[in-house]
């Protein structure tokens, strides 16, 4: 290769791995074609690798299809690209295509292929890949071992994960983190903590993972204690730490730690650089009742996304400022921020608590007509609550009957509550019967139905309820009022 060609390749590689690559992929591709480098598997492998990191695999796919003789290097880059940004099954299809062309995998093929299997949580497929790894003698490579551990973790196969882990002579922090997350994911939090304590090296992601596992398991006090231990050990929180711990502080009502995090987020630049941190702070202050602070934060945020607006709207609903929540939703839409499902759950909740029936109807109708959002059961539940609270129980019942989805117990329970508030015993009876059908084990529903019959002196029906409970082997819970 001439010196000028080598210089052109070096220049192309500099462009590919430069700061402006994301916006210049098309121009870089044109540059490849102009200098006849679009047949170079090595250059194209770099190009595909960059596409994968920027979630631009459709572009990479178009280029790959035009290559007449792709080699293992290019196939590996494509497989890795799909393992990063999906569709993950395309990694597997490429692997099969590669073998059908007589191109044999190497040690760089299997780690991303296993990652795709893990992302698909397809353990059967992953086992086949693992078997091929062993048969070809690649099981000794560290990156492949990590891939196997991640595969079995994603499938909840902790016995297989443990076996592979025990066979590893050298275990880096990535593998330890996978073991911790794997045991926590299947509910063995104490085993996860045991592995965490056995680690010889921690990174901030290790602490975040264990704190998150404790929080998700309802062990908030332990999660906060571990966060304090992390700080005592000299680890600086990152954005993931704050997003994980702030909800814990909200649930425990720990204002001191939450306010410390607010101060730290501002001084460290995390608040400025990560919109998720601002969103979590808003949510924290709303949940501890510091609405003014939350609203000041919201107004002050350097960047907002739909989650920011949703957090503030829901926070206003939570703190009895429903009309402000409705106004904020209108402001959001007027500013061109595209609402999502959660936006309308918050907006409809505001309408329900404020008794704004007409506005609730407008929001609900606009979901599909203006924003192409198909209402879900949560939205129907909000509408049933809104109508029921306002005394429109018949309209709420008719709405439930027309829902294109199967109504759940929450909807019928909401209607029942409204019927009891407004004294509509006939609809209450219908709602309870639906609840019994959905929750035949719930003794409270039978007791409520029996009480309604008692109030109307329908003693035969009271006896029928007793028989139904006996037939369904349901025992009345202690503390519930007796029949008749």
Tokens of 276: 């998720």
Q: In the chain, what is the straight-line distance between the N-terminal and C-terminal CA atoms, in Å?
A: 97
Burial string for 406-437 (b: 16+ CB within 10 Å, else e) reads ebbeebbbbbbbbbbeeebeebbbbbbebbbe
SS3 1: coil
Mean predicted lDDT score pLDDT of the chain: 88
pLDDT tens for each residue of 129-187: 999 999 999 988 989 999 999 999 998 898 888 998 988 888 888 899 999 999 998 89
Copy the structure tokens of residue 248. Answer: 């814990």
Query: In terms of C-beta distances under 8 Å and separation of at least 24 residues, what long-range contacts does 20-28 make, across chains too?
Result: 21/50, 21/54, 22/54, 25/50, 25/51, 25/54, 25/56, 25/59
Q: Burial letters for 32-65: b for 16+ Cβ neighbours within 10 Å, e otherwise? A: beebebbebbebbbbbbbbbbebebbebbbebbe
- Note the pLDDT of residue 48: 84
Write the pLDDT tens digit of every residue in 276-321.
999 999 999 999 999 999 999 999 999 999 999 999 999 999 999 9
Residue 10 or residue 110, greater confidence: 110
SS3 assignment, position 440: coil
Task: Tell me what pLDDT residue 482 has.
Answer: 46
For residues 295-315, one letter each, b for 16 or more C-beta atoms within 10 angstroms of the residue's C-beta and e for the rest, the string is bebbeebeebeebbbbbbbbb
**68 against 324, higher pLDDT:** 324
């Amino acid at each position: 290769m001439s010196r000028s060609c080598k210089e052109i390749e070096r220049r192309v590689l500099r462009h590919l791995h430069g700061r402006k690559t994301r916006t210049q992929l098309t121009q870089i591709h044109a540059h490849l074609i102009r200098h006849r480098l679009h047949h170079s598997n090595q250059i194209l492998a770099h190009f595909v690798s960059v596409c994968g990191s920027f979630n631009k695999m459709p572009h990479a796919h178009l280029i790959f299809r035009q290559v007449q003789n792709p080699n293992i290097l290019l196939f590996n880059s494509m497989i890795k690209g799909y393992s990063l940004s999906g569709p993950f099954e395309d990694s597997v299809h490429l692997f099969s295509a590669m073998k059908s062309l007589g191109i044999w995998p190497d040690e760089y093929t299997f780690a991303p292929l296993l990652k795709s299997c893990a992302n698909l949580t397809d353990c059967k497929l992953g086992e086949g890949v693992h078997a091929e790894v062993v048969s070809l003698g690649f099981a000794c490579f560290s990156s492949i071992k990590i891939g196997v551990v991640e595969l079995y973790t994603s499938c909840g196969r902790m016995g297989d994960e443990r076996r592979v882990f025990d066979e590893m002579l050298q275990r880096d922090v990535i593998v330890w983190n996978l073991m911790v997350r794997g045991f926590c994911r299947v509910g063995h939090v104490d085993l996860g903590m045991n592995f965490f304590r056995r680690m010889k090296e921690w990174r901030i992601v290790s602490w975040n993972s264990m704190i998150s596992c404790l929080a998700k398991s309802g062990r908030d006090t332990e999660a906060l204690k571990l966060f304090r231990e992390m700080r005592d050990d000299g680890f600086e929180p990152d954005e993931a730490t704050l997003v994980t711990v702030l909800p814990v502080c909200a649930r425990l009502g720990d204002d001191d730690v939450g306010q410390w995090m607010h101060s730290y987020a501002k001084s460290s630049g995390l608040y400025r650089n990560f919109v998720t941190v601002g969103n979590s702070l808003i949510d924290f202050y709303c949940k501890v009742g510091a609405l003014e602070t939350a609203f000041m934060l919201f107004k002050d945020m350097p960047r907002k996304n739909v989650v920011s607006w949703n957090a503030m709207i829901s926070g206003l609903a939570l703190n009895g400022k429903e009309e402000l929540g409705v106004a904020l939703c209108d402001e959001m839409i007027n500013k061109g921020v595209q609402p999502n499902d959660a936006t309308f759950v918050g907006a409809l909740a505001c309408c329900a608590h404020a008794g704004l029936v007409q506005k609730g109807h407008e929001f609900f109708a606009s979901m599909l007509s203006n924003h192409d959002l198909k209402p879900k059961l949560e939205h129907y539940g909000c509408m049933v609550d809104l109508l029921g609270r306002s005394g429109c129980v018949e309209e709420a019942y008719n709405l439930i009957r027309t829902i294109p989805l199967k109504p759940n117990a929450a909807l019928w329970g909401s209607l029942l509550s409204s019927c009891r508030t407004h004294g509509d015993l006939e609809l209450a009876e219908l709602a309870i019967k639906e609840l019994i059908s959905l929750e035949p084990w719930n003794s409270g529903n039978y007791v409520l139905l029996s009480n309604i019959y008692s109030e109307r002196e329908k003693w035969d029906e009271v006896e029928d309820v007793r028989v139904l409970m006996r037939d369904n082997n349901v025992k009345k819970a202690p503390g519930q009022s007796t029949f008749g």
